[in-house]
Structure 1
Amino acid sequence: MSGGAASMLREFAVSLTYPPTLTLSLLVLAALLWWWRRRRIGAGVAMAAVMWSALWSFPFASDTLRGLLEFRYPVVEDAADLPRADAIVVLGGGSHYAWLERPDVRPEQLRYSRLAAGARAWQAGRAPIVILSGGGEGDTTEARRMAKAIERLGVPRSALVLEERSRNTRDNARYSLPLAGREHPRLLLVTSTLHMPRAALLFEQAGARVMPVPVPEGRAPRSWWRYWLPSQRALWRSGRAFKEIVALTAAHLHL
């Protein structure tokens, strides 16, 4: 199989982790089965397809699924409790930082920000440098946008090292390790609680000694009854969890 075909196959497989995409694919299969006069089987496939997306649109189901990954590493609330390391590595996870619009913002105010977690760890003296990992094109790399933002949180430019070549988590690990200044570096790895299991594994496979600094993902407060109301946001959150589970499995298999 050519590289282009393999890439397309991987992209299609990833797209199926989003429940509506898998549902649509199964509905197409159901229609074909109906056309081939396998109507009982086709009806069963169609019913299963609809129920699949319906199930994962419930916040209770979505949060339960995400908990399989999010609870693997506890969130450390006080940066002073973190161990010392050779470097802090912050993985990119967004291009817009709404808190930059605030006239006065401090790291301790931003519980759900990876950059704030990295800033708190540096300010607590846990490591001498902060590696910001995120690729892109020209002057618009994610690492450069992260640098401008984290400087607002009190980390000077002299403490920042930019990794601007990565396109995925495996690249984050491959290109960040040499910037830490030693072989098999001790790294405080900062990313979301959902992404941390895969990121930690890939960095360890690349040769790092990883000390996870997971950052919780914000969620709107809910009344108990809202857990049982389907929503598009819950469906999206379920899709992200399935994507991470599939990618984590692939990382374990070195795929």
Structure 2
Amino acid sequence: MLPINFIVEVGILSVVLMATRFAALGRKLAVTTLVLLALATFSPLGFLLLYPLESRFPPWDPSRGAPDGIIVLGGSVDPDLSAAHHMPVVRHAADRMLAPAELARRYPNARIVFTGGSADLISTDDKEADWSGIVLENTGIPKERLIMERNSRNTYENALFTKKMVAPKPGERWLLVTSAYHMPRSIGLFRKVGFDVEAYPVDWRTGGREDLFTFTNQGADGLNRTEIAVREWIGLIAYRLMGRTADLLPGPAKD
């Protein structure tokens, strides 16, 4: 359960209880709601939860040479809104779509794979890959260099379907481009399906250790950070319990 959902539900329960003989409990829950909202919105809680995720993998080291391929995880383009407006709508994590353009220019022989379909529970013909391909082409990447995986619904399927599609050979080096906070879970899932990739984190939400003690007066930003962090930690725990990752918090490979 995400923070805002939980806080809203506790708040509603407090209002209901205050109209009954449990009014005292309702008032206590109302206070609890305000405290939780303040923590999630204005305190460093979001930074504290995001920092260990974002600092888990260092920036990629280009000194090891050119990669054979570049994998870009979806999550930036909203396929439903894109279909509604007949143009790509980038709602989140725009850096995931910008980084491949620079990498493509730097490494002209690398294959570029985008993986992302639709996370909707109900089947839909609107796939993120279809619209993201337009964005990547607009950044200057030739269409013939793009390999589009459009059937995955989550990060586990991103890893599974991408491996089947590209069939990486032993010794090949593949970069994985995704948000820094999402990198531990993504790397863990790719490793589990037997696809060794190198982390290329982008889209940071924290600046460094100094943020761990920073309060904010931008409530929406604080709440957004907390939401993202809690969702990611829930994902890590869930995939570990399901056996889809080998570690709770995957980190760099040991040499």
TM-score bracket relative to the smaller structure: 0.7 to 0.9
Q: Deviations over 1:107-162 (max 9, x none)?
A: xxxx9621222232333338621111111454x42212222222233322222111
Which runs of 5 or more structure 1 residues have no equivalent in the other structure? 1-15, 97-110
In the superposition, the TM-score normalised over structure 2's length comes to 0.72
SS at match of 2:114: strand
User: Which amino acid in structure 2 is aligned with residue 94 of structure 1?
Assistant: S
In the superposition, the TM-score normalised over structure 1's length comes to 0.72
SS at match of 2:44: helix
- What displacement does 1:29 show? 3.7
The CA distance in 1 between the partners of 2:28 and 2:109, in whole Å, is 57
Preserved contact between residue 73 and residue 178 of structure 2 (Cα < 8 Å): yes
**Inter-CA distance 116–232: structure 2 relative to 1 (3 Å threshold):** closer
User: Which amino acid in structure 2 is aligned with residue 23 of structure 1?
Assistant: I
Equivalent residue, structure 1, for 2:162: 176
Equivalent residue, structure 2, for 1:123: 105
Q: Over the residues paired in the alignment, what is the CA RMSD in angstroms?
A: 3.2
The aligned runs of 1:95-106 (5 Å cut-off) are: 95=77
Of 47, 52, 62, which aligns to 1:68?
52
> Quick check: 1:205 aligned with 2:187?
no
The CA distance in 2 between the partners of 1:180 and 1:86, in whole Å, is 11
Equivalent residue, structure 2, for 1:159: 145
The CA distance in 2 between the partners of 1:56 and 1:83, in whole Å, is 42
SS at match of 1:209: coil
> Quick check: 1:133 aligned with 2:119?
no
> Quick check: 1:25 aligned with 2:12?
no
The CA distance in 2 between the partners of 1:252 and 1:173, in whole Å, is 15
Preserved contact between residue 80 and residue 124 of structure 1 (Cα < 8 Å): no
Preserved contact between residue 168 and residue 195 of structure 2 (Cα < 8 Å): no
- What displacement does 1:230 show? 4.8
Equivalent residue, structure 2, for 1:253: 241
- What displacement does 1:179 show? 1.7
* Structure ranking higher in helix proportion: 1
Equivalent residue, structure 1, for 2:40: 56
**Inter-CA distance 126–238: structure 2 relative to 1 (3 Å threshold):** farther
> Quick check: 1:195 aligned with 2:195?
no
Which runs of 5 or more structure 2 residues have no equivalent in the other structure? 79-92, 119-123, 244-255
The CA distance in 1 between the partners of 2:240 and 2:150, in whole Å, is 26
- What displacement does 1:183 show? 6.1
The CA distance in 1 between the partners of 2:69 and 2:206, in whole Å, is 29
User: Which amino acid in structure 1 is aligned with residue 127 of structure 2?
Assistant: T
Count of residue pairs brought into register by the alignment: 219
SS at match of 1:57: helix
Q: Percent identity?
A: 28
Preserved contact between residue 76 and residue 94 of structure 2 (Cα < 8 Å): no
- What displacement does 1:188 show? 1.0
